[in-house]
Amino acid sequence: MSPRLTTFLTGAFANQVLAHGILTKFTANGVKYDGFATESIYKIQNGNPAPDVAAWSTAALDRGYIEPNSMSTQDINCHKDAAPGVLTVEVAAGSSIDFVWADWPHDQSPVLTYIAPCNGDCATVDKSTLEWIKIDEAGFDGEWAGKKLMDNDFTWSSKIPSTIAAGNYVVRNEIINLHSGMEPNGAQLYPQCVNVKITGSGTDTPKGTLGVNLYKPDDAGILFDGNAKGISNYPIPGPPLYVAGEPAVSFPASSASGSTQGPSASTAIPVSLSSSTPIGTAVPATNGTPTVSAVPTTLVTSKIARPTSTVRARPSGCRAYNAKTSHCISA
C-alpha cells in the first residue's frame, strides 16, 4: 500500500473516530426537518449563507462532546458555543419527536430528553435562562439505551407530554457516552437542541432546572463504568422525570420561574419531507424539494451569531408562517 493511500485511510479513520454524535434530522408532526449540519460552520466561517433551521448551531467541528469539567459552563445547554435556531417548528402535545443521530458508535449510553420554555421567541432566547424539564430518560434495563438507539437506525423517539402548556420551547435530546465513564472527567455528553412550538390544551407549567445545575462531574450516573460486567442498576443522572399533574422539582432549586408563553409567531419551513408529510406544510421548489431562505451569519471568536428578526403577528388562518418575510406559507 502506498504511503499516500495509507495517510488518506488513516485520516479517514481518525475522522470517523472523532465524529461521535450529531443530530442530523428530527421529525415533528410527521414532518422531517434538518439538524444543524457541520458543513454550515465552514460556510459561516467563509462568509457564506447557511440554511435557516430550527436546530441550534454549534461550533463543534469535530462533532465532539462536552466533558464533565464543563458542566458548569453554558455549553452544557446545547453544546459548544451553541446559538438558537432561527426557525421554530410545530409539534402537538401528546405526539412524539423522532431524533435521528449520525452513526452513533457507543452502546454504553443513557439517552435523555428535556424541554425548556422560552418565554417568548426561541430564536432570541438567552440560553443561560433556560430551565430544563426532563420528559424522557432511559438508561440500562439489561440493554443500554444507546444500543437501542443504534438498533433503531440511530433514532430516538420522545413523547411530548399532553399535559404541558402550549407555547415556545427548546427541546434538548442528549446522549451520554460512558465507555470511559469510570475515569474522572471521562464521560462524554452530547446535547442537541431544536426550537418547537407546542400546541394543545395542556396547562402544566412545571419548574425546571438551569443547565449549569443539571449534573455534577461526580454524580453516580456520570462517574460510572459503562463497561463493567454484571451491571444490575444504573442511576440516571439529572433532575427527576416530569410526572403529569405534579410540579417538577428543581435540581438544585434555581431562581427563575419556568412559566410558558403563548404560541410563537414564527414556524419553520420543513427542509425535507417524509412520504407521509401532511399536504400544505411547506412550499416546494421547482425540483420538488422544499426550500428555506438563507441568512448570512458570521463567526465571532468561534461563536456563531445569527441575526435577530422582528417577530410579526401571524395572519389568521395561516398554518405555517415565515415571520421574517410576513409570508403566509400555507392556509
**pLDDT tens, position by position, 190-227:** 999 999 999 999 999 999 999 999 999 999 999 999 99
DSSP state letters, 265-309 = S--PPPSS--TTPPTTSS-B-TTS-B---EE--EEETTEEE----
Q: If pLDDT is split at 50, 70 and 90, which confidence band does 252 have?
A: low
Please tell me the least confidently modeled range out of 1-10, 229-238, 272-281: 272-281
Please state whether the predicted TM-score (pTM) of the whole model is above 0.85.
no
3-state secondary structure of 194: strand
Q: What is the mean pLDDT of the chain?
A: 78
- Mean predicted confidence (pLDDT) in 276-292: 32
- Give CA 270 to chain center in angstroms: 16
Give the Cα separation of 250 and 315 in Å (integer): 38
Choosing among 2.60.34.10, 2.70.50.70, 3.40.50.300, 3.20.20.100, the CATH entry for 22-266 is: 2.70.50.70
**Is residue 73's pLDDT more than 50?**
yes
Q: How high is the pLDDT of residue 44?
A: 85
Grid cell locating 214 = 443539571
Q: If pLDDT is split at 50, 70 and 90, which confidence band does 173 have?
A: very high
DSSP structure class, residue 202: B
